[in-house]
Structure 1
Amino acid sequence: MVSADRQDGTGGYGSLNGTMQTFLSEVQKDLAQGMLSPRVLNDPDIHRAELDRIFTKCWVFVGHVSEIPSPGDYVLRYVGEDQFILARDEQGEIQLLLNNCVHRASPVCRAEKGNTSHFRCPYHGWIYKNSGEWNGAPYRAKAYRTLDTARWGLRKAPHVDSYQGLVFACLDPDAVPLREYLGDMCWYLDIVFGLNEQGMRAAGDPHRWIVPANWKSGAENFVGDAYHVQSAHSSLEDIGLLPDLGESLSTQFHVALEGGHGLIITPNLLPEPLWVMDYPPEVASTFDLARLGAGQREFLESRYGVVGFTIFPNLSLIRAVASTERGRPPVCFTALRQWQPRGPEQFELWNWPMVWNSAPPEFNQASYEGSVFGFSPSGVFEQDDTVVWRGGPMVGRSAFARQDMKLNFQMGLDGMSDYKPRPDWMGPGEASTSVYGESNQRRWWQRWSEALASS
């Protein structure tokens, strides 16, 4: 349904045909009533439009600065389904380079990570600096005496920037700056990642595995779905790994931000009143809360913490506590999550456990183990989530379901629950009094539909 006969200046498809525009208008009308067509979870035309109109236009997370600390370091990353080289060049600048030679399109980098001053294409031997510049070819004096080398470097992302160590890229030359794109999410990123000057780092390489579901199920879940915990994760309560799930849900709430971003906020989960966001004294003592604003300090002094968020389109976070064995005290862990599209029926889940550079090694090891225990290819929470998300592609491809079935997103609408605005919130965004609502999810889908419909 995407018109392929005209392209815009960024290489994406220029316009959507009338049928797709009509469908997106229906999506927006349905969302106002708390409904959504299952077609959004499995449709090749929608998927192609997402790659062309979301992943080439939005700021997309590509890694953490700690993964490429030195000149010459690189890792392979994705924006949508396009593979890029995230590299730190010889001048220390971060580059995002399309991993395709401009001679015959062969990938020039075939290792997932490493350190190099240049990349050499295996097909004809064209060479590129780690900044992306063209740097030579075999028999250059005979083959390319008059080549305009300035034109033939690797294709670069027009914009690469970072905030609190998180590296984002945007493929749209006319994009707004990253700080503007993130908006009020920066206030919360400061709280999660900016508690001291040393910051956090990725604890090794990201975990990666294929999930038979649509990427949007993960993004939508982490932007606001705490309601599933009492059902999808009930077995963990049954075997004693989680406390009373109903009690924990009763104290959580949402914060909705502009741009499709959203968070789940929770009071601290551990009992010690002096701890900051469930960090023990030996970690909390390294924090410098004077770095934060008055409202941010009030957030922490009120014993609130961020349990999850999604930055539109496909970066999420989980902050929770876990105990990996009986008798071992629970420990706080943090992990970044990314939902990498791999067609309309599956995605690749990337998971980065994060640790504090200032924390004792023993705490970081325990935090890493807690993160892997909960959220990883074998994580006890992970297995529950990825199983239930499989229904999206099934109903999305169903000829019967696509006739007139609607998915229900009505929780919190029209007095259906006690979900209402919190009047005394000290931070940015619209905070709720309860987690029993789906406003964050509806806003995420609204942002999604607007992105697809935009020119």
Structure 2
Amino acid sequence: MLDQADPEMDLRALVEESEDFTVDTRVYTSPAIFDAEMRRIFLRTWVYVGHESEIPNPGDFRTSAVGRVPVIVTRDQTGAFHVLVNTCRHRGTVVCREERGNARFFQCPYHNWLYRNDGRLVQIPDSSGYPEGWAGRIGGLLEAPRIAVLYGMIFANFSQAGPSFDEYLGPLRRYVEYWFGHSPTGRVQVLAPFRASYPGNWKLQVENSTDGWHARYVHESALRTMHHFGTRSPAVGWPGATRAFPSGHGVLERPRDDLPPEVQPQFESFRSLLAETYGAEHAEAMFVRRQITLFPSFHLMEFKFRVIQPVAVDQTVIYEFPVRLEGVPDDVNAAILHRITREISISSGGPVSSFVNADDVEAFARVQSGLADSPVERIYFSRGLHREVIAPDGERTGESSDELPQRSIYREWRRLMHE
């Protein structure tokens, strides 16, 4: 427990905002703080656990996680979604090991307790060993008390208290609508994920997903490589904007001026389709390239979902799910997938990672190593602090190289960790 590990620690002082915005380096290196994050953040706010296209039929399921809590996301026989803790109520065994499938029941492999796909306990072998009615008192698999679905994305919250999903989303909703508006129906199909891992804290990737400043430096060699193979370099200057929102969310916006020549015709027809669907002005607003963080661990990237999975204070797994847009021509979806996979390096039978991700995870590893036993006590997120523009609804706007989204992350981190 955090308080037992360091009873003198002032959680609010870990993030300070005055003339500068600084974060205590222990938030990246302390196992006690990491354990507290898993309880105070992941179990008390809205966390992405899956998409309805992954479980389209009654009985379908996929396994996922909320922080370090294993869960099963199911669609029961009535079509309703459930987010169940993947832990048997008897002796704590993980009930389901499969990543996905279809099942009316889940059976614990240890003592064969049987649960329906809505979580209800339906059978205990040789139940005569218990008093009558005992199983009813125990109940079934624990279930997230609150679930929300937006554009097919399924979010779970294990706390009855706190903001509703609409309150959690707040003014970010408009930008999420822009992102899903790339489909005329607002629907996407989530494809099989790419997976990568790195020896560093989970927040390093969360910060980086809306960091508009690092690309021209960290990804210099990758950009040269992509240019050599005929792919234009992504926009790495300072055009665009950053946005930050209550609840820790953030957006990085940049012009979509980095299309490989071989897919430009398809994307121009795509732009025309959006204009026909929404009108020219709205379509241009949608066609901006956006990377969106939904705190704590989910990102809407360029035609893909990114999910950050904390493992330990210095171990993190990243899942990236390309999406197929419903209602657009096949050649446009093929061009989108080409855009994503063109930057992908695949080792035979091994993990999948991109040139860009390889650069990022190397940077994360260096940060983690640099802070491990360092006398450096605080790091800075002050870029653009003096020029933030704050709207009445709480949305903050800055330049594309500003550390505005990162400050939003840590404002919400401080609130949840302190409460």
Question: Under TM normalisation by the shorter chain, which class is it?
Answer: 0.7 to 0.9
Partner residue in 1 for 2:389: 421
Shift in Å, 1:39:
1.8
Pair 1:446 & 2:408 matched: no
Residues 1:67 and 2:54 aligned together: yes
Counterparts of residues 222-233 of structure 1 (less than 5 Å): 222-223=209-210, 225-233=211-219
Q: Is the 8 A contact 1:208 1:351 kept in 2?
A: yes
Pair 1:133–1:335, CA change in 2 (3 A): same
Any conservation in 2 of the 1:187–1:428 contact (CA below 8 Å)?
no
2:365 is equivalent to residue 382 of structure 1: no
Q: Indicate how the Cα distance of structure 1 residues 71 and 175 shifts in structure 2: closer, same or farther if over 3 A, else same.
A: farther
Letter in 2 for 1:407: I
For residues 270 and 413 of structure 1, the distance between their equivalents in structure 2, rounded to whole angstroms, comes to 29
Structure 1 distance, partners of 2:417, 2:200, is 20
Cα 1:368–1:222 shift into 2, 3 Å: same
- For structure 1, which segment, 47-56 or 236-245, has the greater mean C-alpha deviation from structure 2 after superposition? 236-245
Q: Secondary structure at the match of 2:402?
A: coil
Alignment counterpart, residue 281 of structure 1, candidates 266, 269, 283:
269
Select between 297-306 and 210-219 the one with higher mean Cα deviation: 297-306
The question of whether the paired residues in 2 share the 8 Å contact of 1:42 and 1:392 is answered with no
CA pair 244-129 structure 1, distance change in 2 beyond 3 A: closer
Q: Is 1:199 matched with 2:191? A: no
Please list every run of at least 4 consecutive aligned residues from structure 1 whose deviation after the TM superposition is greater than 6 angstroms.
none
The percentage of counterpart residues that share the same residue type is 26
In 2 relative to 1, CA 106–284 (structure 1 residues): closer, same or farther, beyond 3 Å? farther
Matched, 1:133 2:116: no
CA 1:145 to 1:335, structure 2 compared with 1: closer, same or farther past 3 Å?
Answer: same
Residue in 2 that maps onto 1:314? 297
Corresponding position of 2:155? 168
Cα gap change, 1:127 to 1:283, in 2 (>3 Å):
farther
The AA in structure 2 aligned to 1:25 is R
SS of residue paired to 1:210: strand
1:43-442 superposed matches below 5 A: 43-140=30-127, 143=130, 145-149=132-136, 151-194=138-181, 195-197=183-185, 199-203=187-191, 205-223=192-210, 225-239=211-225, 240=227, 243=232, 248-269=236-257, 279-281=267-269, 285=273, 289-290=277-278, 298-302=281-285, 304-319=287-302, 334-374=303-343, 377-398=352-373, 401=374, 403-414=375-386, 419=387, 421=389, 429-432=395-398, 434-442=399-407
Q: 2:8 maps to which residue?
A: 19
* Residues in 2 aligned to 1:139 and 1:287: alpha-carbon distance in whole angstroms: 65
| 5+ residue gaps, structure 1 | 5-15, 320-333
Superposition deviation, residue 62 in structure 1: 0.4
The 8 Å contact of residues 283 and 359 in structure 1, kept in 2 or not, is answered as: no
Give the Cα separation in 2 of the matches to 1:177 and 1:238.
Answer: 45
**What is the CA-CA distance between 1:227 and the residue it aligns to?**
0.5
The separation in 2 between residues aligned to 1:89 and 1:51, in whole angstroms, is 28
Query: What residue identity is the alignment partner of 1:411?
Result: R
- 8 Å Cα contact 1:374/1:382 also seen in 2: no
Matches of 1:30 and 1:255, distance apart in 2? 18
> CA offset at residue 317 of structure 1?
2.3
Q: In the aligned structure 2, how far is the partner of 1:142 from the partner of 1:444?
A: 51
TM-fit CA distance, 1:158: 0.8
CA-CA distance at 1:298 after TM superposition: 4.2
Distance in 1 of aligned mates of 2:298 and 2:326: 22
Distance 2:106 2:285 in 1: 51
1:358 maps to amino acid? G
Report the Cα offset of residue 30 of structure 1: 5.3
CA distance in 1, matches of 2:102, 2:298: 26
Structure 2 portions without partners, runs of 5+: 346-351
User: Quick one: distance in 2 between partners of 1:336 and 1:351?
Assistant: 6
Corresponding residue of 2:349:
none
Given that 2:298 and 2:307 are in contact with CA atoms closer than 8 Å, whether structure 1 keeps it comes out as yes
Report the secondary structure of 2:291's partner residue.
strand
Q: Residues of 1 paired with 2:242 and 2:52: CA distance? A: 29
Partner Cα distance (2:174, 2:417) in 1: 28
Q: Distance in 2 between matches of 1:347 and 1:177?
A: 28
**Cα shift at 1:374:** 3.2
- Contact kept in structure 1, 2:178 and 2:286, CA below 8 Å: no
SS in 1 for 2:42: coil
2:185 and 2:326 in contact (8 A); partners too:
no
Specify the SS of the correspondent of 2:307. Answer: strand
* Cα distance change of structure 1 residues 443 and 31 upon mapping to structure 2, 3 Å threshold: farther
Offset from partner CA, 1:341-400 (integer Å, 9 cap, x none): 0010011111111111223334323322322333683312111111101123223321xx
Cα shift at 1:212? 1.1
- Counterpart CA distance in 1 for 2:232 and 2:286 is 19
TM-score by length of structure 2 reads 0.87
Question: Are 2:254 and 2:400, in contact at CA under 8 Å, matched by a contact in 1?
Answer: no
Cα deviation for residue 143 of structure 1 reads: 5.0
Distance 2:114 2:163 in 1: 33
Distance (whole Å) between structure 1 residues aligned to residue 142 and residue 60 of structure 2: 18
**RMSD after superposition:** 3.0
Matching residue's letter, 2:397: A
